[in-house]
Structure 1
């Protein structure tokens, strides 16, 4: 983008803002003008700026992705389908989180480099305070679909782009993500993007519904559509409620329908459908609600499949993991509580799910809670529930706690070591007495649950430090099972291939690893374990410019290996990090890296050796 274009755009923005109050018509939508005004007055941005957007480091991107990991796995399928429909016109598809960070990205490999140079890439950040007016920024603020076309963008760096975006809402009605389709070349007429915007809106709804069905597997779900043939394949309305009839989730269309019908969101399904005859049981029959002119089908809460029914107790190929699961199943079926210990990301929750699915309680609920992820002021009501009117803001119908929801089945308490001491006391009492007292309830309610706990921390040490109750520790530790970290597993190659197969299913692109990249993956220590491996491969697939993943496509953190000769080397050494960054920028080519640093290749090799950096496919250099 030339300085002439930049100057002309500054004049265009200034002219529109000066005349916005008095002009009868404007060359851009009023919402765009409002965003421009905020960009100037509140964010103090320069419309003539040609600088690209901020890009997250690999470890920062992984942190953003980990927060919505399950959602990304579901959204990826629809992102791939949407890209397949628009790829011939050189569009890319991206998904951002609610902070505006691009956490998933799909683009044809032949144009990926060109888009990256234009500032559109995985890990780019799109907030109005940083980039001014873009489609993603507008959706984050207004929560409405929009097309921001060429000169609608505030900053001159983006006036060649066209972007159409739509919000993706969670089952609870909160903004969860933004889906965007962008191109760096398009016709000047904004109307050329109308069909693209409709496709984005439709795909955002598909993602919403897929995540809704995934998140409500343990609830009653009513699917509805005006036409019976679409009730299962493309339901327009989704309602979910618990066994007490309390509404727990609605998709945006269902939320709008209830607001239009009642002026508010009713607490219970009986109140929501007071004049309608809902199906009295879940089956394959599609029913008709005449009052709403909707065809509906009711889905019952899931019954978890038995791992034994398929002849499989464990998916893992590693014999240690398989044997550990077999022993844990025997212990659990004897009624003993199970404590799972393992590093962060080693797969403790997945192990607990397999354990439940292979146990005698396989057909009963499996309820999980991460004690470290829920604020301390909410975890009590989440665990124990509350009665109607127990506190300000409480539902008028109350809420069943997770202990009650797990009645008859398995309660999985992840990161139990982070549970506050006050709640440890209540949990111990509930487990000892076999009953729970919801907040505000006049009498306790009986429960029959089997507890499986997990922690990456040593609970014995926490007991000694006084942060974990000793009596609760002995109550929970019927038997302890250790999940090996990824670096100790013998099935890393099989796991890598399985994840690449999943990526092929998601994006229809078949990726292979170069010998050097595979060697780096197999030899890396994986402090983040399975979660880190998963994100590293998805990152590599996203940034790879071909179908062969090279070392340069892997996150830079994978290049940091153990020091040679057992010497201690600080991971925070700025010289070492600068050396690694230079090597990565130059695709691990020593000649280019040495030229950038202004040193000879011999000096480069010596510094690589001193800092314990292992070059791809090589050992340390002498």
Structure 2
């Protein structure tokens, strides 16, 4: 059958099913609802044969940088799943919570076939863009599914079979989707049952790996009903703090043990009167614990807190004489060699827990989310959820339901029991709104009510839900100017800016060399090989402008450590784009302030050009006849600071 005829017939079948004239796909209510949303709400064309939207390289890098911990926790599971099903011509994809493919596994000789079908890194699979497909349905319903061939809404994907499963964070929020897809498979959808089960099992393994990463500073109980499986295949994971308060539990623990959704003490779950659980962790033994609710026995091993940094901030040498205030989550920032970073940390330390909204300003990649999480973990809500929402990454059509949730039956295709929004998920903890400057004006009004009245009204409901949370926002935009221009509500701006902290870009930090050394040490240790950084290269890196800031620095050093085939990492091991910039922009001598008059003249010239062009780097660099990278480098060396920065 010609492709055009097949696509036309599929489109007619979809329209007939949505209008009730033809049978629904596979008799599945979930697929029926998805077809209806795709057709009626999103106005998608079922006959379209255009592939999915794909992010640019820079957009993908930014998304992957945000999901660094998730990627590290999932990499091995993706490889193992692909090794299991690769002979049946499957690829494996991992997406973030918005349906963007951030990692995948694929046979090299089949790459073109999968790419032609839209199955490759950077592809976007939200229902609003691609209609009914495995990833989109999981994002909507938060449950595993197989979408087989003509179950797909768009004709472009009717040759694919996709089995997908959700992956949740310790706090219960969705962090991603695992998907296994084949370009060709038997027509019978029952052929996908085994693949569906393998995907669900792998998603659970990724969840547990991510759980252990996020609870590294906690005591963690590994439990199983069979003593022989405690070490090899634990089913239950429960994290608790030094006082015995339960911080988080994996999904199987929630399904098995009642009452874990609310605040609990570990002694309320287990009768541990005959043993101190932390002592079990110190001697690394397996203990038999009695469940208070049922009297059943659970065998468990306890892992003591790991001695490592959880926040992506380089470790500094430990000093036993440090005061307690410098050993908490904000400690690495307090000990920073950059005065502005340390000052920000001192202010944050004083205001944390004081019910004061915090606004973090800084360029992309400067570490705003890392700093926000450190503030959360340094405060009294550390054991409660930290829920991050990127306001700039959510489609405008979805951001309202994502933030505020919705009531049962709020719209066609809504979940039967409704859904909690991100704000409700953060109840008792911290809500982190990244890129708050990109939030649509209409939603700013609703957010203002949440902050002012401490309650949220889900879509389709008239009953407000009380919420108690701290709010931290971040943006790279100039919110004060946006407020003056009417692009951001002034009442919301003043509500959010209880404390405004500006994180300096990497090129302006006085501790840039120590940061380079610390990040290099972390990445070198991750390779498992003894590596050292060439001194000349370290000096070049310290003089570089780093438009992508800490995020870019880490990626560069991770790449260099990965490709290095010697004991010393030097310029040969840099990514090609950075190596090219170094080759075309040779080092300029660093001139200390006041040593030569020409440095003062050069500084005055650059400041004048920046002022004339409203501090826009592209226009300024063009006017001066230099590259933007060179401009950044000279700004850093001459100590030029924009007037709106602290």
Indicate if the aligned counterparts of 2:523 and 2:558 stay in contact, CA closer than 8 A: no
Determine which of 335, 339, 348 is the counterpart of 1:339: 335
Whether 1:295 aligns to 2:294 is no
In structure 1, what is the equivalent of residue 473 of structure 2? none
1:363-411 deviation line (CA, Å, top 9, x unaligned) = xxxxxxx9933898995795245999xxx99999x99x9xxxxxxxxxx
SS of the aligned residue for 1:100 comes to coil
Stretches of structure 1 that go unaligned for 5 or more consecutive residues are 307-320, 350-369, 402-439, 441-455, 457-466, 470-479, 504-520, 541-550, 577-608, 614-622
In structure 1, what is the equivalent of residue 155 of structure 2? 156
In structure 2, what is the equivalent of residue 15 of structure 1? 16
How far 1:266 moved relative to its partner?
4.0
1:66-116 deviation line (CA, Å, top 9, x unaligned) = 222112111111111111111112211111011111111111111112211
In structure 2, what is the equivalent of residue 61 of structure 1? 60
The CA distance in 1 between the partners of 2:377 and 2:553, in whole Å, is 35
The CA distance in 2 between the partners of 1:174 and 1:217, in whole Å, is 19
In structure 2, what is the equivalent of residue 314 of structure 1? none
Determine which of 259, 264, 269 is the counterpart of 1:268: 264
Indicate if the aligned counterparts of 2:223 and 2:234 stay in contact, CA closer than 8 A: yes
How far 1:30 moved relative to its partner?
1.8
In structure 2, what is the equivalent of residue 87 of structure 1? 86
How far 1:527 moved relative to its partner?
4.0
In structure 1, what is the equivalent of residue 96 of structure 2? 97
Indicate if the aligned counterparts of 1:563 and 1:612 stay in contact, CA closer than 8 A: no
In structure 1, what is the equivalent of residue 164 of structure 2? 165
SS of the aligned residue for 2:62 comes to helix
Query: Per the alignment, do residues 29 and 564 of structure 1 end up closer, same or farther by CA in structure 2, a change over 3 Å counting?
Result: same
The CA distance in 1 between the partners of 2:426 and 2:543, in whole Å, is 52
SS of the aligned residue for 1:110 comes to helix
The CA distance in 2 between the partners of 1:339 and 1:122, in whole Å, is 39
Query: Per the alignment, do residues 179 and 247 of structure 1 end up closer, same or farther by CA in structure 2, a change over 3 Å counting?
Result: same
The CA distance in 1 between the partners of 2:233 and 2:172, in whole Å, is 19
Indicate if the aligned counterparts of 1:134 and 1:153 stay in contact, CA closer than 8 A: yes
Determine which of 469, 477, 482 is the counterpart of 2:511: 482
How far 1:168 moved relative to its partner?
0.7
Query: Per the alignment, do residues 185 and 559 of structure 1 end up closer, same or farther by CA in structure 2, a change over 3 Å counting?
Result: farther
How far 1:165 moved relative to its partner?
0.6
How far 1:16 moved relative to its partner?
2.2
How far 1:202 moved relative to its partner?
0.5
> Counterparts in 2 of 1:311-326, with a 5 A limit?
none
How far 1:222 moved relative to its partner?
2.0
Indicate if the aligned counterparts of 1:277 and 1:289 stay in contact, CA closer than 8 A: no
> Counterparts in 2 of 1:365-444, with a 5 A limit?
372-373=368-369, 383-385=379-381
Indicate if the aligned counterparts of 2:223 and 2:301 stay in contact, CA closer than 8 A: no
Whether 1:118 aligns to 2:121 is no
The CA distance in 2 between the partners of 1:343 and 1:51, in whole Å, is 52
Whether 1:532 aligns to 2:552 is yes
Indicate if the aligned counterparts of 1:267 and 1:395 stay in contact, CA closer than 8 A: no
In structure 1, what is the equivalent of residue 434 of structure 2? none
Stretches of structure 2 that go unaligned for 5 or more consecutive residues are 327-333, 346-365, 385-422, 431-467, 469-475, 477-498, 502-508, 530-540, 561-571, 589-605, 610-615, 630-646
Indicate if the aligned counterparts of 1:236 and 1:253 stay in contact, CA closer than 8 A: yes
> Counterparts in 2 of 1:72-83, with a 5 A limit?
72-83=71-82
How far 1:224 moved relative to its partner?
1.9
The CA distance in 2 between the partners of 1:379 and 1:522, in whole Å, is 28
Indicate if the aligned counterparts of 1:93 and 1:180 stay in contact, CA closer than 8 A: yes
Give the aligned CA root-mean-square deviation in angstroms: 5.3
In structure 1, what is the equivalent of residue 357 of structure 2? none
The CA distance in 2 between the partners of 1:491 and 1:612, in whole Å, is 25
1:31-65 deviation line (CA, Å, top 9, x unaligned) = 11110000001000000011111111111112211
> Counterparts in 2 of 1:227-306, with a 5 A limit?
227-258=226-257, 261-262=258-259, 265-270=261-266, 272-273=268-269, 279-281=275-277, 282=280, 283-289=284-290, 291=294, 293-302=296-305, 304=307
The CA distance in 2 between the partners of 1:483 and 1:113, in whole Å, is 42
Query: Per the alignment, do residues 558 and 189 of structure 1 end up closer, same or farther by CA in structure 2, a change over 3 Å counting?
Result: farther
The CA distance in 1 between the partners of 2:576 and 2:153, in whole Å, is 32
How far 1:146 moved relative to its partner?
0.5
Indicate if the aligned counterparts of 2:26 and 2:151 stay in contact, CA closer than 8 A: no
The CA distance in 1 between the partners of 2:16 and 2:144, in whole Å, is 26
In structure 1, what is the equivalent of residue 175 of structure 2? 176
The CA distance in 1 between the partners of 2:371 and 2:523, in whole Å, is 35
How far 1:161 moved relative to its partner?
0.7
Whether 1:39 aligns to 2:38 is yes
Q: How many residues align?
A: 428
SS of the aligned residue for 2:307 comes to coil
Indicate if the aligned counterparts of 1:485 and 1:529 stay in contact, CA closer than 8 A: no
The CA distance in 2 between the partners of 1:134 and 1:343, in whole Å, is 50
Indicate if the aligned counterparts of 2:224 and 2:300 stay in contact, CA closer than 8 A: no
Query: Per the alignment, do residues 251 and 10 of structure 1 end up closer, same or farther by CA in structure 2, a change over 3 Å counting?
Result: same
Query: Per the alignment, do residues 241 and 41 of structure 1 end up closer, same or farther by CA in structure 2, a change over 3 Å counting?
Result: same
The CA distance in 2 between the partners of 1:97 and 1:43, in whole Å, is 21
Indicate if the aligned counterparts of 1:539 and 1:555 stay in contact, CA closer than 8 A: no
How far 1:216 moved relative to its partner?
1.7
Indicate if the aligned counterparts of 1:58 and 1:556 stay in contact, CA closer than 8 A: no
Indicate if the aligned counterparts of 1:93 and 1:105 stay in contact, CA closer than 8 A: yes
TM-score, structure 1 as length reference: 0.56
Indicate if the aligned counterparts of 1:55 and 1:124 stay in contact, CA closer than 8 A: yes
The CA distance in 1 between the partners of 2:33 and 2:121, in whole Å, is 28
The CA distance in 1 between the partners of 2:383 and 2:518, in whole Å, is 50
TM-score, structure 2 as length reference: 0.55
The CA distance in 1 between the partners of 2:119 and 2:426, in whole Å, is 43
The CA distance in 2 between the partners of 1:524 and 1:233, in whole Å, is 47
Query: Per the alignment, do residues 304 and 133 of structure 1 end up closer, same or farther by CA in structure 2, a change over 3 Å counting?
Result: same
The CA distance in 2 between the partners of 1:113 and 1:523, in whole Å, is 41
Indicate if the aligned counterparts of 2:240 and 2:246 stay in contact, CA closer than 8 A: yes
SS of the aligned residue for 2:80 comes to helix
In structure 1, what is the equivalent of residue 457 of structure 2? none
Indicate if the aligned counterparts of 1:524 and 1:558 stay in contact, CA closer than 8 A: no
Tell which has more relative contact order, 1 or 2 (C-alpha 8 A, sep 6+).
1
The CA distance in 1 between the partners of 2:118 and 2:271, in whole Å, is 54
The CA distance in 2 between the partners of 1:249 and 1:612, in whole Å, is 46
Query: Per the alignment, do residues 17 and 272 of structure 1 end up closer, same or farther by CA in structure 2, a change over 3 Å counting?
Result: farther
How far 1:334 moved relative to its partner?
7.1
